[in-house]
Structure 1
Amino acid sequence: MTEDLRRLALDALTTARARTATLTECVDDHELTAQHSPLMSPLVWDLAHIGNQEEQWLLRTVGGREALRPEIDSVYDAFEHPRALRPTLPLLAPAEARTYASDVRGRVLDILESTPLEGRRLVDSAFAFGMIAQHEQQHDETMLITHQLRKGPAALTAPEPAAGSAEGLPAEVLVPGGPFTMGTSTEPWALDNERPAHQRTVPAFFLDTMPVTCGAYIAFIEDGGYGDRRWWAAEGWDQIRQHDIGAPLFWRRDGGQWLRRRFGVTEPVPMDEPVLHVSWYEADAYARWAGRRLPTEEEWEKAARHDPASDRSRRFPWGDADPSTAHANLGQRHLRPAPAGSYPEGESPLGVRQLIGDVWEWTASDFLPYPGFAAFPYREYSEVFFGSAHKVLRGGSFAVDAVACRGTFRNWDLPVRRQIFSGFRTARDAAVHGERS
C-alpha cells in the first residue's frame, strides 16, 4: 500500500510539473516576466511560487531539510503581495526560477522515497505530497487564465474535444428531496474546506441536465438582458453599468455575428458550447430572466454525488472510479469546453451531464465552513476567505486537473470575477408548477 501511495504521489507531482513546463516554455522570457493583466501575476512569479511552496512544505516541513532559499519566502507569499504589485518585487529571472523549482523537486523526490507515509497527519496517505500537487495544478490553471488574457498570437495548442450531442436529453431532471451525505471524511487528499462529511437535507428541485450554452445566453443578451434592471442584483447592476459590460468577457459583436477571443485566436462563438467567462452576477441575472435560479451548493453536490438507488454519496457523478477521458473534459487536454451533452459515460444516476469538467459552475451559495470545520494544515487556504464576499463554484473546468477535482471539491471567487473559466447551470423548485417528489 505504501509503495502504491508513493507511485500515486510521484505521478501527481510529475504530471503537474510537465504541465507547468508546457505553460512556461511556450513563450519567451519577456512574456514570462510581463504582467498581462493586473488581475494576474507574471507567469514567472507563479513558476517560482510553485517551487517555494514545495520547498516550504515538502523539503522543510515534511523532510526536515535545510532551507534552500529562505530569503525569497516573502517575495512569493501570496498573502503579502497583491497580484497587481508583484511585478515590482525582486523576482527570480526565468532561468533562475526554473533552476530553483528543479532543485527543489529533485530533493523532494528523495524525501518522497524515504518518508514513512503514516504516523503524522501531514504525511498520512501522502497527503502533503497530494496537497502540493494540487497546489501546482491550481497555479497551472491560473497561468492558463493568464495565457487567455495575454495579447498576441496563440502560444498554446490542443486538439478539439470530440463532438457531443444533446439529442434525446431532457432539458432538466427532478432531483428528489431528502437527506444525503455532503463533504468527505475519507477522501485522502481532500482539502480542509471539503471536510467533514455531514448530513444535509434539501427539498426536491429541478436541475438543468447540461450547463447553459452560448446560444441560450445570446438569447438573454438579445432580449435586452444587460439593459434590464429587473434581472440584476444591485451590486451586479452597478458593475455592468460602471464597466459598460454587455456580454461575456472576450466576446464582441461584428455585424450580425458574435465573436470571441480564445487563447490568441478570434472565432465565432459556438452556439452549442457551455458559456464561459461570466461572473456570478451575470449567471444570476440570466437565471432570473429565464424564470429560474442558480442551484445552491448543497443542491449541486446532491445532484453530482447522491445515488438514489443505493442512497449513497459517490466520489463522482459516474461512481467512485477516477476520471478518465470518457468521463470528463479535464487537465487542459482541450483548450475549450466540450459541446453541451458530451460525456454520456460521465453522467449522474439521474442523467445530469458535465457536472465535472468543462466549466466551473457558479452556485447561489456563499463560501462558508462546514459544521465541524478545522483548518489544516494552514488557515490561509480556506478559513480567511469564509463569508459572504465569495461565492462557491463547483465541478471544475477543462483547465482543472483530476487531482484537484472531486465531487466534494469547492472553489470560490468574488462574484465580479469573469477571467476565470466559469459558467453555470440553472435550477428551479419542484413545487413551482405543482410537481412533487
Structure 2
Amino acid sequence: MKRRDPPKVPCKIEMDIDYISNLPEHITDKILSCLSLRDAVRTSILSKKWRYKWFSLPNLVFDNQSLLISSQDQQLIRNKLINIVDHVLLLHSGPIQKFKLSHRDLQGVYDIDRWILFLSRGSMKEFILEIWKGHRYKLPASLYFCQKLIHLEIFNCLLKPPSTFSGFKNLKSLDLQHITMDQDVFDKMISSCTLLERLTLMNFDGFSKLNIHAPYLLFFDIGGVFEDVYFNTTNNLAIVSIGLYATAGYDQNLPLGTPGNMIKFFAPLPRIQRLEVQSFFLKYLAAGKVPERLPTPCIELNYLSLRINFCDRAESLAALCILQSSPNLQELEILARPDEQAAEGIDARLSEEYLRNCPFNQLQLVKIVGISCARQELNFVNFLLTNSPVLEKMTIKPVSANGGCELLKELLRFRRASVLAEIIYLDP
C-alpha cells in the first residue's frame, strides 16, 4: 500500500504589528512636542504614517540645538539657516502657536522681515526673537499686528511700532532685553497691554523713566540704568526684582517737602510678596527722607534680598526701614558690597538703630554674603540674632578668609533670641 502523507494543516502566519504607526494621535503629538525640530523632522523615516506628521508641529523652535550647522563660513551658515526656515515654513500645515528664532550666528538676516509677515497672518501666540550679534534689528511693522500674542520675547532689537499701534490686547508676558525704544513708545506699550502679568526689562536704551501702568501685573524683573520708576495701578504686583546698574542718572537730592523714594516706591505695592533689591537700587530708595517705618507695612512680604553697602549710612537706614516694615518676613538674604568704602568724613555708625527693639516674629532663614567683619556689619548680624525668636538658620559667608577666626569668635558671643538658631560659617 502506498503511504499517504498526512493532510497539510494551513499554517497561521503572524503579522508583525506596527505599533509606531498605530499610536494614537495625541501620543504622537506629545512625542513630537518633546523633540527638537531637527529630531522631529527625522521621524519622517519611521513609517509612511509618520512621513508628514512634523508638518503640523504647532511649536517651531530654530536655535543652536535644533539647527546643528557645522561650518566656519558665516555666509554659508546664514544661507543654510535661511534655507532651513524657508523649507519648514513652506511645508508647514496647520496653525503655528509658537515661533522661536535664536541662533548664535544669527545676524544680517533680512529674511526675518518676511518670516514675521508670514507669521502675522496666522494665530501665533508666542514669539521669541534673539539676535545675538551685530546691530539691533528693527522689528518690522507686521509684528505689531500679531494681536493673538500671549508671550513676546525680544533680544537686541529696535522697537518702533507704527502710529496706529494700540498695544497687544492679549499679551500676558513681555520680555525685552538689550532693546532700544523711545520713552513715549515704552509708556504706550506698557499701558496698552492691559492683560500684562509678567514684565522683564534688561539693558535698554532710549528711555530712562519707568512708567508702569499694569493692573494685572504679578511679576516685574528689571535691570538697567534709569532715572526713576513709577508704579501706577499695580495693586496685584507680588514679585519684584529690580537693579540699578549705575548710581548716576537720577537725582539723589530731592526737593524739600517731597516724599522720599522709599515711600513713593512702596505705596503702589500693597501685595508685594518677594522683593530683590539688586546692584545700586537701595541707594535710589535711600534718596530723600527715609522714614523709620513705611506708612503702610508690607504685610505679605515673606522674602527679601538686599544688595547693600554697610559703609553708606543712608543705605543702612533704607534697609532698616524695609525690614521694620515687613512683620511677616520669613527669609532674608543680604549681599554686601565690600568693595565700596565710606567716603571720608561720613559717619556710617548705626549702633542705636541696630539695637532698637524690632522683633521679626516670622523670620526663619537668613543668608549674609560678602561681609568684611567691619563693626557696622557685625552690629547688623547682632541686630538680627537678638530680634528673631523663631530663627532656624543663619548662613554667613565673608568676602575673604582674612579675619575669619575673629568673626567666628564675635558670632559666638552674640545673644540669640531663638534657642534653635544655627549659625553656619562658609569659607569664601
Which structure: larger Rg? 2
Higher helix share: 1
TM range (shorter): under 0.3
Greater relative contact order (Cα 8 A, min sep 6): structure 1 or 2?
1
TM-score (norm 2): 0.22
TM-score (norm 1): 0.22
